[in-house]
Amino acid sequence: MQIGIPTETVVGENRVAVTPETVKKLVSAGHSVVIERGAGVKAAYIDSAYEQVGATIKDDAYTNSQLILKVRAPKGDEIQKLAANTTVVAMFDPYRNTELDQFATQQVSAFALELLPRTLSRAQNMDVLSSQANLAGYKSVLLAANEYQRMFPMLMTAAGTVKPARVVIMGVGVAGLQAIATAKRLGAIVEATDLRPTARDQVESLGGKWLDVPMSDEEKQKAADAAKNGYGWMPGEQYIKDQAVIVDKAVSNADIVITTALLPGRDAPRLIKAETVAKMKPGSVILDMAVESGGNVEGSKCGETVVTTNGVKILGVPNIPATVATEASALYARNVFNFVETLFDQEKNFKINLEDEIQKALLVTHSGQVLLKRG
C-alpha cells in the first residue's frame, strides 16, 4: 500500500505524522511511503533522513496514496485531493469540524485519533491526547516562566533572599500532572485543584499541595462512582460555591496559574473570572492551555498575550505541543503507527474492521456517511 504524508498546512503546526523511525517500520512491513518535500523540516526531520530509511520524497503526497497520515485533518482544497476510498488518519477535532460531510461525499474513511477509548489497555500506546498533553504540560511551565519577571526557586544570596514562585495548576489530567512535576523541578511551591477528588494522591505524590474542597458524603460517593466508571461527575451547587472561594483565594495569591481543563465536544469550562484576575499581583502570569476551545480564563485571547490593567499577563498560546515539535512528532508518530497496525489483518491485507472496538470508536466517516454522533 502507498502511504502518503503531506505537509501540514495549519499555521503554526510544526509537527509531522511520521518520523524516520516509524517510516522504517512501515517500509519493513512492505509499504511504500511518499512524503511531501519538506514535510518534516519544521520538526527537524529533513528529507534525506526519510530517504535513508526507504521513503520517497515528492511534491505531492496525495496522488496514488491509499492511506494518508497527518497531524491535522485535511481542510478545504486538501480534501478535494483525496481519491475515493482513501483512508485518512489524523486529529480531526471531530465535534467542531464542519467539513466531515465533505469527507463522506468524497467516499473517504476518516479516523479521528482524539476519539480513542482511553479505558482500553491495548489502546494506551495509540493515545495521542495523552502523549501530546504530557509535552504541553511541560512546555506550558517553561512558557510561563519565560514571561515571569522573577525566579522560580528560593535563593539565599548575599543581597538577600529570593522567595520561590507560587504556582497554581487547575485541572490535574496528564497535562496538569506534568505541569506540577515541571514547576516543582524548577523550585516553585505548587498547588493544584481538580473536580476529581481521586487526583489528590497524584498531586501529593509529585510534591504539590491539594486545594481541598469540603464534600458531603453523597458527593464523595458520586465522585467515586464516576471515577470507577471513567466518567466525570456533576457537583452540587454548594460544592461549586465552596470550590470557587478556595480557587479564588489560591489564584489571587499565585504568581503563575496554568489552566488545563477541556471537555470533549464542548467549550472549555470557565475556571477563572475577571474579578479573580483583578485581585492578582502585578507581574503575575496566567497561561490558558484551553484557549483554542474557548478558554478557561475570562479575557484570554487565542494567539495573544493580554496584559490587564493591574499588570497580569494572560497567555493564550495555541497548540503548545507544536512548540516542541521534534519530540511531539516522535511520540505522535509512534501513536499513529500503533493504530495503523490495527488496519491490517494477519495476512497484512488492509481491512477496516467495524467490529474492532478501537477502529469503530475512531471512524467518523465511512462508505459515504458521517458516523460521528454529535450532541
Same domain for 157 and 39?
no
Mean of pLDDT values over 32-55 = 98
Same domain for 234 and 289?
yes
User: What is the length of the chain?
Assistant: 375
Same domain for 271 and 176?
yes
Whole-angstrom Cα distance, residue 182 to residue 190?
Answer: 10
CATH code, domain carrying 303: 3.40.50.720
Whole-angstrom Cα distance, residue 100 to residue 372?
Answer: 9
Told to judge if 150 belongs to the known catalytic residues of this protein, a careful annotator would answer: no
Q: What are phi and psi of 17, to 5 degrees?
A: -80, -15
Same domain for 161 and 228?
yes
Same domain for 207 and 223?
yes
Same domain for 27 and 151?
no
Is there a domain that residue 279 lies in?
Answer: yes
Statement: residue 288 has pLDDT above 60: yes
CA 224 vs. chain centroid, Å, equals 26
Joined grid coordinates for residue 108: 473517504
DSSP string, 169-202: EE--SHHHHHHHHHHHHTT-EEEEE-S-GGGHHH
Same domain for 162 and 279?
yes
Statement: residue 273 has pLDDT above 80: yes
Is there a domain that residue 125 lies in?
Answer: no
Annotated catalytic residue: which of 45, 109, 127, 359?
127
End-to-end CA distance of the chain: 36
Is there a domain that residue 120 lies in?
Answer: no
Told to judge if 127 belongs to the known catalytic residues of this protein, a careful annotator would answer: yes
108 band by pLDDT with thresholds 50, 70 and 90: very high
**Nearest-5° angle of CA 250, CA 236, CA 203?**
40
226 band by pLDDT with thresholds 50, 70 and 90: low
Is there a domain that residue 126 lies in?
Answer: no
280 band by pLDDT with thresholds 50, 70 and 90: very high
**In the chain, how many domains are there?**
2
Is there a domain that residue 123 lies in?
Answer: no
Same domain for 319 and 329?
no
Mean of pLDDT values over 139-145 = 98
Annotated catalytic residue: which of 77, 121, 231, 346?
231
Question: 328-348, pLDDT tens digit by residue?
Answer: 999 999 999 999 999 999 888
252 band by pLDDT with thresholds 50, 70 and 90: very high
Same domain for 66 and 54?
yes
Annotated catalytic residue: which of 2, 66, 107, 124?
124
Whole-angstrom Cα distance, residue 323 to residue 285?
Answer: 19
Annotated catalytic residue: which of 130, 196, 252, 270?
130
Q: What pTM was estimated for this model as a whole?
A: 0.93
- CA dihedral for 196, 201, 206, 211, sign (positive or negative): positive
Exposed, middle or buried, 217 (CB in 10 Å: 0-12/13-18/19+)? exposed
- Neighbouring residues of 305: CB distance < 8 A, sequence distance ≥ 6: 147, 313, 314, 315, 316
Same domain for 54 and 92?
yes
Is there a domain that residue 280 lies in?
Answer: yes
Is there a domain that residue 193 lies in?
Answer: yes
232 band by pLDDT with thresholds 50, 70 and 90: low
159 band by pLDDT with thresholds 50, 70 and 90: very high
AA identity, residue 66? Q
Instruction: Select the more confidently predicted residue: 225 or 133.
Output: 133
Annotated catalytic residue: which of 118, 185, 196, 270?
118
Told to judge if 130 belongs to the known catalytic residues of this protein, a careful annotator would answer: yes
Q: What are 4's strand-pairing partners? A: 34, 68
Same domain for 310 and 328?
no
Whole-angstrom Cα distance, residue 254 to residue 115?
Answer: 35
Told to judge if 93 belongs to the known catalytic residues of this protein, a careful annotator would answer: no
Which range marks the domain in which residue 224 is found?
136-323
Is there a domain that residue 128 lies in?
Answer: no
pLDDT at res. 184:
98
Position of cell 485581585?
Answer: 279
Q: State the helix-helix crossing angle for 128-147 and 174-185, rounded to 10 degrees.
A: 40
Told to judge if 374 belongs to the known catalytic residues of this protein, a careful annotator would answer: no
Share above pLDDT 70 across residues of the chain, in percent, rounded to a whole number:
96
Same domain for 106 and 230?
no
Whole-angstrom Cα distance, residue 174 to residue 24?
Answer: 30
